[in-house]
């Protein structure tokens, strides 16, 4: 299978944001709120996972197994709302010895870089257009 075109990725990203907007309550308040998911402004879905303190005794394998089981449960939620192919794990960070931050996001475009570039380029293009327009008029 070939590379997906950039316009197809943009269309999928718009669909991703629409699905998140329509299912925001289901994502944040999932049943008994066992996942404690949050959504930020650029469409990332994140949570902190607490691993048992036995990881010091039994090793890192327990933490990896716990994180894998937790991610599999969240994948079921993503399948229910229609996001299985659009969402991926963006990052897993160790907050401290027993807590891990898991960040999910749109899998085809890094939305943080996209919106940062959009916020930088849009004013430059707008100012350039205004300068060019006034240069032509006067």
Residue 120 burial (10 A CB sphere; 0-12, 13-18, 19+): exposed
Rounded to two decimals, the pTM is 0.79
As a whole-number percent, the residues of the chain with pLDDT over 90 amount to 32
Give the pLDDT confidence score for residue 135 in this predicted structure.
82
pLDDT tens column, 73-114: 899 989 999 988 889 999 999 888 788 899 999 988 888 888
Structure confidence at residue 2 (pLDDT) = 66
**Rounded-to-integer distance, Cα 5 and Cα 3, Å:** 6
- In the prediction, which pLDDT does 55 show? 66
Sequence-distant (≥ 6) Cβ neighbours of residue 6 within 8 angstroms:
none
- Please check whether residue 58 is in contact with residue 66, taking contact to mean a CB–CB distance below 8 angstroms: no
57 pLDDT exceeds 80?
A: no
pLDDT(1) > 60 = no
Predicted local confidence at residue 102, as pLDDT: 93
User: Are residues 106 and 115 in contact, defined by beta-carbon separation less than 8 angstroms?
Assistant: no
Higher pLDDT, 34 or 89: 89
Q: What is the dihedral of CA 6, 10, 16, 18, to 10 degrees?
A: -170
Q: Give 85's DSSP letter.
A: T
On the 0-12 / 13-18 / 19+ scale of CB atoms within 10 A, 59 is exposed
In terms of Cα–Cα distance, which of 91, 87, 102 is closest to 43?
87
**4 — pLDDT class (breaks 50, 70, 90):** confident
For the chain, give every domain's residue range.
6-110
């Amino acid at each position: 299978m070939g590379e997906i075109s950039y316009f197809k990725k943009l269309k999928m990203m718009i669909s991703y944001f629409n699905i998140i907007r329509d299912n925001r309550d289901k994502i944040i308040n999932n049943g008994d709120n066992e996942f404690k998911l949050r959504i930020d402004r650029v469409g990332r879905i994140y949570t902190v996972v607490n691993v048992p303190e036995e990881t010091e005794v039994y090793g890192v394998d327990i933490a990896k197994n716990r994180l894998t089981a937790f991610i599999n449960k969240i994948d079921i939620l993503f399948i229910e709302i229609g996001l299985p192919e659009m969402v991926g794990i963006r990052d897993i960070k160790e907050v401290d010895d027993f807590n891990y931050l898991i960040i999910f996001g749109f899998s085809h475009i890094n939305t943080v870089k996209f919106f940062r570039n959009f916020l930088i380029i849009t004013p430059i293009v707008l100012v350039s257009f205004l300068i060019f327009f006034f240069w032509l008029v006067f």
